[in-house]
Chains A and B, each alone.
Chain A
Amino acid sequence: MIASVIFPAVLALGLIGWFSTRARAKLLYSGRGSMHSMPGYHAWHLALWIVLPALLVWGLWSAVSPVIVDHTVLSEPVAAQIPSDPVQRAAILSEARNIAEDPGFIGFYDESPTLAPAMKAAQDHYGLIGAILVAVAALAGGGYAFTRVRSGYPARTRVERLVMLALLGASLLAILTTLGIVASLVFEAARFFKDVSPIAFLTGTHWAPANAVGDDLNANFGAVPLFWGTLYIGAFIAMLVAIPLGLMSAIYLTQYADRRARKVLKPVLEILAGIPTVVYGYFAALTVAPAIRDFAAALGYQNPSTESALAAGLVMGVMIIPFVSSMADDAIAAVPRAMADGSLAMGATRSETIKKVLLPAALPGIVAGVMLAVSRAIGETMIVVMAAGATARLTADPFASMTTVTYQIVQLLTGDQEFNSPKTLSAFALGLVLFVVTLILNIIALRVVKRFREAYE
């Protein structure tokens, strides 16, 4: 209520300040000739000095004032009869606040309506104080900046420093979000590991969270079949497709394709990376998986399942091709031309040069690309959800249905779930393991790439 008035008012004041200061600084500029900063910087300097202190005060007041309001209301005589239990007190205060803002609100507690008038009075009182504080902050900031509109004042330096701080803040926000995600994963996983031993989780081979009740928790949370399925599909079958095809296409594109072919083929290949994974998912489920089932039947399998590790892995491999090929492409292109020339000049053929000089020299970059591709593949969800199946199974049979870490996380967290049962919490433990594995793969890959770059610069 107060906010809806104050916020526009402060912005309007800032806007007025901006225009008037620019006009004033322009006058100064034309009068004296040389100023440290252009008029625009003075205008920004003043506008920011109006808006930022006001917002800061407003933010602080919004955090502090409810506490003061509650305290004031509780010290009123009408508050004497409300229960002393802190939870109930908080609930009553919250209802009183709702009634104060919307008289039509029906509360659960009988005491709430009696507190509402006092609540409203206190809110108005402290809201007014807040508005005054904000106005004072805006005017004080503006007044300070106004006295600084002089030819020699380094407004540009100040404004630019603030811009730099804003940029820093933006990048910190991303990092802090990541840290927050990690913290929540670790926290929830720790709750899970209170009930289930980490050793049983990491080494057990029986995964049946649905049966996990009472004392047999450890026996039903063995995640090894999930890790196996994840690695078998993502790191084995998918890579069996992605590494040769990605590498060969990179070699063709860097070494053999003429400029026109490269111009067409490279973007087309990169489109593969832009297809939504859910589209790959139903391609795997509707087109590839039935074909593989028929193939398995033709090989003599009894009742082959529609879902198979092979279907998911093959489609995932295709999805990963652009990762491998663009990393390999970069790595091969980074090998100095002189190296290939040296080999060609000795009478080596193009393919001997590629095999014996270019690929060995580019190998670290290629390996790094493969690692990034693996970390991407094992974190992939949609394809395995649609095509790999739900059965946790330890088998090397590519036609069998298999399940992965990501698929189980989806299973465990969708639908109605209690958020403190081991079954739900196990999703966080799985997420943590997945996160750690992909993090390690990424760190290694980035290090390898960095060292590789240094070698040729």
Chain B
Amino acid sequence: MTQTKLPQTKLTARNVDVFYGDNKAIDDVSIDIGNGVVTAFIGPSGCGKSTFLRSLNRMNDTIAGARVTGQILLDGEDIYDREMDPVALRARVGMVFQKPNPFPKSIYENVAYGPRIHGLAQKKADMDGIVEKALTRAGLWNEVKDRLTDAGTALSGGQQQRLCIARAIAVSPEVILMDEPCSALDPIATARIEELIEDLKSRYAIVIVTHSMQQAARVSQKTAFFHLGRMVEYGDTHQIFTNPREERTKDYITGRYG
């Protein structure tokens, strides 16, 4: 049995419940997310996978009435602890959204936004370096290096999404959360993003929520299957897709519902 071994656990969730008002969206989820691997969350619409993802960098805080109980640890630190600053947390746990959402600024300013906020560069040359590195890692540098002052919103959808990834990695996060990053993109742009995820995974812990089981199978090493707010099964991607332990997982994988 060729079990992918976890080099180290980056994020740990224990008995996490998420509520929207009185509505329980996530029920008792416990999971260990490893560093240097891609973890996929799959499941039918409304199963809570995006909600759970958003609780990993406390983006749920921005939604009125959202509440998280249980424990989520980043490198052993409780991220919902009173001492933990959500702003500092989000600099360590970056996020890429479903729809590309570049700021209405130039390409350069989009990437420089985070480093500037966090004071990562003192001089213009340092900032140039950070921007170039982030764009290079996001596989966008060669396409945009001659037009860094153009508006970020003028890029194609796939380029915009890679710009958003560049923007996220410019602040050197440890974890990157991706919420259906390819659902608004065509197959070619999707393939580019998937290659990019492959390139990035050695440096970061990546968690990706996806509707596409093929995508989960292609890019991830670990897969968690969510259904009706609960995590039904979590294991190696290969095992989940070839030999699921749970009947519900099998039904979903084989297209019986969802």
Give the residues in chain A near B94, CB-CB below 8 Å: 345-346
Question: CB < 8 Å: which of A336, A344, A349 contacts B59?
Answer: A344
Check A349 against B101 for contact (C-beta < 8 Å).
no
**B95 on interface, CB distance cutoff 8 Å:** yes
Give the distance to chain A from B120, nearest Cβ to Cβ, in Å: 11
Question: CB < 8 Å: which of A258, A336, A339, A347 contacts B87?
Answer: A347
**B97 on interface, CB distance cutoff 8 Å:** yes
Check B104 against A259 for contact (C-beta < 8 Å).
no
Give the residues in chain B near A356, CB-CB below 8 Å: 113, 117
Q: Which of B35-43, B163-171, B208-216 faces chain A?
A: B163-171
**B192 on interface, CB distance cutoff 8 Å:** no
How far apart are the CA atoms of A307 and B95 in the complex, in Å? 58
Give the distance to chain B from A257, nearest Cβ to Cβ, in Å: 11
Check B99 against A338 for contact (C-beta < 8 Å).
yes
Give the residues in chain A near B114, CB-CB below 8 Å: 346-348
**B24 on interface, CB distance cutoff 8 Å:** no
How far apart are the CA atoms of A82 and B57 in the complex, in Å? 100
A contacts with B: majority SS: helix
Check A361 against B104 for contact (C-beta < 8 Å).
yes
Give the residues in chain A near B99, CB-CB below 8 Å: 338
Given A338-B101, A339-B103, A349-B87, A344 contacting B117 (CB threshold 8 A): no
**A341 on interface, CB distance cutoff 8 Å:** yes
Interface string of A334-364 (1 = CB under 8 A from B): 0010111111111111001000110011000
**B62 on interface, CB distance cutoff 8 Å:** yes
Give the residues in chain B near A258, CB-CB below 8 Å: 64
**B131 on interface, CB distance cutoff 8 Å:** no
Check B168 against A346 for contact (C-beta < 8 Å).
yes
How far apart are the CA atoms of A418 and B192 in the complex, in Å? 80
Give the distance to chain B from A420, nearest Cβ to Cβ, in Å: 56
Interface string of A257-268 (1 = CB under 8 A from B): 011000000000
Give the residues in chain A near B118, CB-CB below 8 Å: 347
Give the distance to chain B from A136, nearest Cβ to Cβ, in Å: 69
Question: CB < 8 Å: which of A343, A349, A455 contacts B103?
Answer: A343
Question: CB < 8 Å: which of A338, A349, A455 contacts B97?
Answer: A338
Question: CB < 8 Å: which of A336, A344, A346, A357 contacts B62?
Answer: A344
How far apart are the CA atoms of A344 and B62 in the complex, in Å? 9
Question: CB < 8 Å: which of A344, A352, A360 contacts B104?
Answer: A360
**B231 on interface, CB distance cutoff 8 Å:** no
Chain A residues 78 to 126 lying within 8 A of chain B, measured CB to CB, are: none
Give the distance to chain A from B188, nearest Cβ to Cβ, in Å: 23
How far apart are the CA atoms of A346 and B113 in the complex, in Å? 9
How far apart are the CA atoms of A345 and B95 in the complex, in Å? 6
Interface string of B105-117 (1 = CB under 8 A from A): 1000000011001
**B1 on interface, CB distance cutoff 8 Å:** no
Chain A residues 257 to 310 lying within 8 A of chain B, measured CB to CB, are: 258-259
How far apart are the CA atoms of A361 and B114 in the complex, in Å? 17
- Select from chain B the residue with minimum beta-carbon distance to A259: B64
How far apart are the CA atoms of A69 and B167 in the complex, in Å? 87
**B91 on interface, CB distance cutoff 8 Å:** yes
Question: CB < 8 Å: which of B62, B102, B117, B168 contacts A341?
Answer: B62
Check A347 against B59 for contact (C-beta < 8 Å).
no
Give the residues in chain A near B95, CB-CB below 8 Å: 341, 345-346
Given A360-B104, A360-B105, A343 contacting B97 (CB threshold 8 A): no
Check B103 against A347 for contact (C-beta < 8 Å).
no
How far apart are the CA atoms of A344 and B59 in the complex, in Å? 8
Question: CB < 8 Å: which of B57, B102, B104 contacts A345?
Answer: B57
Give the residues in chain B near A345, CB-CB below 8 Å: 57, 59, 90, 94-95, 97, 168
Give the distance to chain A from B197, nearest Cβ to Cβ, in Å: 17
Interface string of B46-67 (1 = CB under 8 A from A): 0000000000010100101000
Give the distance to chain A from B32, nearest Cβ to Cβ, in Å: 23
- Select from chain A the residue with minimum beta-carbon distance to B99: A338
How far apart are the CA atoms of A336 and B98 in the complex, in Å? 13
How far apart are the CA atoms of A361 and B99 in the complex, in Å? 17
Check B87 against A348 for contact (C-beta < 8 Å).
yes
How far apart are the CA atoms of A109 and B31 in the complex, in Å? 108
How far apart are the CA atoms of A360 and B105 in the complex, in Å? 9
Interface string of A367-406 (1 = CB under 8 A from B): 0000000000000000000000000000000000000000
Give the residues in chain A near B97, CB-CB below 8 Å: 338, 341-342, 345
Give the residues in chain B near A336, CB-CB below 8 Å: 101
Give the residues in chain A near B171, CB-CB below 8 Å: 346-347
Check A339 against B101 for contact (C-beta < 8 Å).
yes
Q: Could you give 29 example pairs across A and B, Cβ below 8 Å?
A: A259-B64, A338-B97, A338-B99, A338-B101, A339-B101, A339-B104, A341-B59, A341-B101, A342-B101, A342-B102, A342-B103, A342-B164, A342-B167, A343-B103, A344-B59, A345-B59, A345-B90, A345-B97, A345-B168, A346-B90, A346-B95, A346-B117, A346-B167, A347-B87, A347-B92, A347-B171, A348-B113, A356-B117, A361-B103
Residue positions of B touching A, CB distance < 8 A: 57, 59, 62, 64, 87-92, 94-95, 97, 99, 101-105, 113-114, 117-118, 164, 167-168, 171
Please name 16 further chain A to chain B contacts, defined as beta carbons within 8 Å, in addition to the given A338-B99, A343-B113, A356-B113, sorted by A numbering: A338-B97, A338-B101, A341-B95, A341-B97, A342-B167, A347-B89, A347-B90, A347-B114, A347-B118, A348-B113, A348-B117, A349-B87, A352-B117, A357-B103, A360-B105, A361-B103
**Top 6 A-B residue pairs of the complex, sorted by shortest distance between their CB atoms:** A347-B91, A345-B95, A338-B101, A347-B90, A346-B114, A342-B101
